Amino acid sequence: MDVFINCPFDDSYYILLKHMIFTVLFLGHKPRLALEETDCSGVRIAKIMSLIESSHISIHDISRMRASRKGEYSRLNLSFELGLDFGCKRYFESMQGKKMLILEKDRYDYQKSISDISGFDIKHHNNDSTKLIEVLRNWFVENQLSICKSSPNTIFNNYCYFSADLYDKRKGSGYTEESLNELPIAELTLEMTQWIKSTHK
């Protein structure tokens, strides 16, 4: 199933994002992000709405809504897209079975900024990849969206094996470590998809 991922796209979140995409793929689903295409001719919000309307599962990480330094604007895109997704579930009959997972950094942070979502399934990851993988894996299994028997630990081990294979494959093609770490999300997702398919038949 398509899984709409609404999360920050900045450098400090890139590692968590890679682990999130890998975990979603490992659990047998297809991550869908606004970043998957960078065609400038489309209106961004239209693309996001299309992803929301076609995904029966969604993950919203609102952990970066809080400004990190004095004077910084708060980020409203994350909560805006969460609102759009909630509206989609609420007002489209075909989407009423939509499953939504909301992530935050620290437990109960959301109550200080967006208390209207009390009662939603809200999990925290402490900005820690291991915790994030565990939260994702357990949520998908609890909600019967995956029959994955692998532990979070096994998923992380597999991420490491994937990284090693990608390292060998790309280093042989002249990639530097820097360019390897900056692979576009769409390309990285494709590599992960192919790797999981070939190693977990």
Partner 1 sequence: MKKSQHVIPDPNGGWKVIKSGSDRASKLFDCKAPAVHYARSLSKKHKTDLYIHKKDGSVDHRSTYSVKSSKPKSRRSS
CB within 8 Å of 167: residues ≥ 6 apart: 180
Q: Strand order of the sheet with strand 57-61?
A: 30-32, 2-6, 57-61, 99-104, 122-124
Answer yes or no whether residue 45 interacts with partner 1 by CB under 8 A. no
Number of residues that bind partner 1 (CB under 8 A): 26
Q: Which of 125, 116, 127 is nearest to 90 (CA)?
A: 116
Q: Which of 153, 169, 186, 197 binds partner 1 (CB under 8 A)?
A: 153
Answer yes or no whether residue 12 interacts with partner 1 by CB under 8 A. no
> What is the DSSP-derived secondary structure letter of residue 8?
-
Q: Which of 50, 77, 130, 193 binds partner 1 (CB under 8 A)?
A: 130
Answer yes or no whether residue 163 interacts with partner 1 by CB under 8 A. yes
Answer yes or no whether residue 171 interacts with partner 1 by CB under 8 A. yes
Give the range of 49-57, 113-121, 151-159, 187-195 binding partner 1 by CB under 8 A: 151-159
Q: Which of 168, 173, 174, 201 binds partner 1 (CB under 8 A)?
A: 168
Answer yes or no whether residue 99 interacts with partner 1 by CB under 8 A. no
Answer yes or no whether residue 19 interacts with partner 1 by CB under 8 A. yes
Q: Which residues pair with 103 in a beta bridge?
A: 61, 123
Smallest distance from the beta carbon of 167 to partner 1, in angstroms?
4
Instruction: Pinpoint the alpha helices (H) of the chain.
Output: 14-26, 44-54, 77-91, 110-113, 129-142, 152-171, 177-181, 185-199
